[in-house]
Structure 1
Amino acid sequence: MKKIIALCTLMLLVSAPVFAQKYASVNAKRANIRACAGTKCAIKWYAWRYTPVIMVKTNEDKSWVLVKDFEGYSGWISASLLSPNGGMSAKVDLNVRKSPSSNADIVCTVEKGYPFKYISKKGSWIQVEDDPADPKDGKCEGWVYNVNLWGFFKQ
């Protein structure tokens, strides 16, 4: 009996804890992702509205969040610039289609990393829309096959 208890205890101690990942999306037109938690820290990269991120940790007062994107790039963002609403990023260069079919007309083409807002789902297809950085570019709304997207949506 002691061996069984010892074995169970050992298994509990060496097994890795499993944590649910927390997702958020950028809710600003453009957000600075920084090297540390503060406005004086260097800007590492920019994220656009609807860019999905994994929240890794917060600073002590929870005003800054360390985030990671779908390619593993990480940095700090002000917590006020994050939303629990869904966001998606293109995992590859892709075509956005008029309807949920690979035979449907192409509405627009976007580059890898392009962010979208989740609208709805139909089978393996996700309906998305963007918020273009320049209004002259026009809105891109349509359907994308789900394996080409990374992110989450709030149900």
Structure 2
Amino acid sequence: MVAKPSALGAALILTLLANFSAATERGPVTNLPIPRFVSLKASEGNVRRGPSLSHRIDWVFKRRNMPLRITAEHGHWRRVEDKEGFGGWVHYSLLSGNRTVVIEQDLLPLHTRPDETTPVVAALEAGVIAELGKCEPDWCRLQSGGYRGWAQKSALWGVTSEELRD
């Protein structure tokens, strides 16, 4: 007799397959992972309704180094979204591979090492943009305002919870 999978077991298998395919999706232009994080290279970037100059500008990003998540690619255009989920199509020349994050927790402590018991070198306000360095499972090294230190990854937007960086 062959055992049939339960509805819960089948749902779990489908969920795992969906997560695996999402984790391995690659952009058709760059062959880089989708989604992925980048930053705004320019001090202003037009956000268009579609991937061409003929599409209407819906708004303008006005924050240099702002982290953005790329969700699609088409030619020289990338569909991006900010931490609030707002976005559209931006020309690739306005984007940089330099990684930044937005601080989501007010007065986020920067520690000397990735350990809450180590001294705090600074406290970053919510909304501050910081340069992203090395990331361990729960901590990332940041640089902002002349300060360097380690912060809890869960308080940052612009890095995934499972991302590791050297």
Cα 1:142–1:65, aligned 2, differ >3 Å: closer, same or farther?
same
**What aligned pairs does 1:2-151 form with structure 2 within 5 A after superposition?**
18-19=21-22, 20=25, 21-28=34-41, 30-36=43-49, 37-38=52-53, 41-49=57-65, 51-59=66-74, 62-99=75-112, 100-103=114-117, 104-112=119-127, 114-122=128-136, 124-130=138-144, 138-151=145-158
Per-residue CA distance 1:55-95 (angstroms, 9 max, x = gap): 12234xx2221101232111222201223343322233242
Cα 1:115–1:38, aligned 2, differ >3 Å: closer, same or farther?
farther
Higher relative contact order (CA 8 A, sep 6+): 1
Cα 1:108–1:65, aligned 2, differ >3 Å: closer, same or farther?
same
Which ranges of structure 1 fall in alignment gaps of 5 or more residues? 1-11, 131-137
Contact 1:126 1:143 in 2 (8 A): yes
Structure 2: distance between partners of 1:23 and 1:123:
18
Cα 1:96–1:31, aligned 2, differ >3 Å: closer, same or farther?
farther
Structure with the largest fraction of strand: 1
Task: Give the aligned residue type for 1:144.
Answer: A
Give, in angstroms, the shift of residue 117 of structure 1. 2.0
Q: Which runs of 4+ in 1 moved over 4 A?
A: none
SS at match of 2:45: strand
Task: Give the aligned residue type for 1:46.
Answer: K
Aligned residues: 132
Give, in angstroms, the shift of residue 48 of structure 1. 2.6
- Please tell me the root mean square deviation across aligned C-alpha atoms, in Å: 3.3
Q: Give aligned-pair identity as a percent.
A: 19
